[in-house]
């Protein structure tokens, strides 16, 4: 299993832009529709939604001939878990000092 692969900086920038648009437009709708399941699973369903958003990002990037590949849903799930952990750590270490500085 190769996992998650992005080749070259143009593909990286394109994937970041596509991921931002997907997260801004499609993710809120998916989270709203999956709210009952997310409540039943105590929020773990949100990780599956994040993995689906990554898979959608890779598919859209592929349609525009960017080299973004995800080798299956399990790789997307692990990548979503990694993104969630990094995002949480960044919000803890960067968000708090920034909030204190803006007071």
From the number of C-beta atoms within 10 Å of its C-beta (0-12, 13-18, 19+), residue 70 rates as buried
What is the number of other CB atoms lying within 10 angstroms of the CB of residue 55?
18
What global pTM score does this model have?
0.80
Tokens of residue 60, six digits: 């859209």
The owner of tokens 């990548």 is 79
Residue 98 clears pLDDT 80, i.e. is over it = no
- Express as a percent the part of the chain with pLDDT over 70: 90
Q: What is the pLDDT of residue 14?
A: 92
**Cβ density class 78-102: b for 16+ within 10 Å, e for less:** bbbeebeeeeeeeeeeeeeeeeeee
């Amino acid at each position: 299993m190769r996992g998650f692969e992005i080749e070259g900086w143009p593909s990286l920038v394109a994937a970041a832009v596509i991921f931002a648009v997907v997260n801004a437009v499609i993710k809120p709708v998916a989270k709203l529709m999956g709210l009952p399941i997310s409540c039943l699973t105590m929020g773990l369903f949100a990780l599956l939604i994040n993995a689906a958003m990554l898979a959608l990002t890779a598919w859209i990037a592929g349609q525009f001939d960017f080299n973004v590949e995800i080798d299956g849903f399990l790789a997307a799930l692990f990548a979503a878990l990694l993104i969630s952990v990094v995002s949480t750590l960044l919000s803890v270490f960067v968000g708090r000092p920034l909030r204190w500085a803006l007071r």
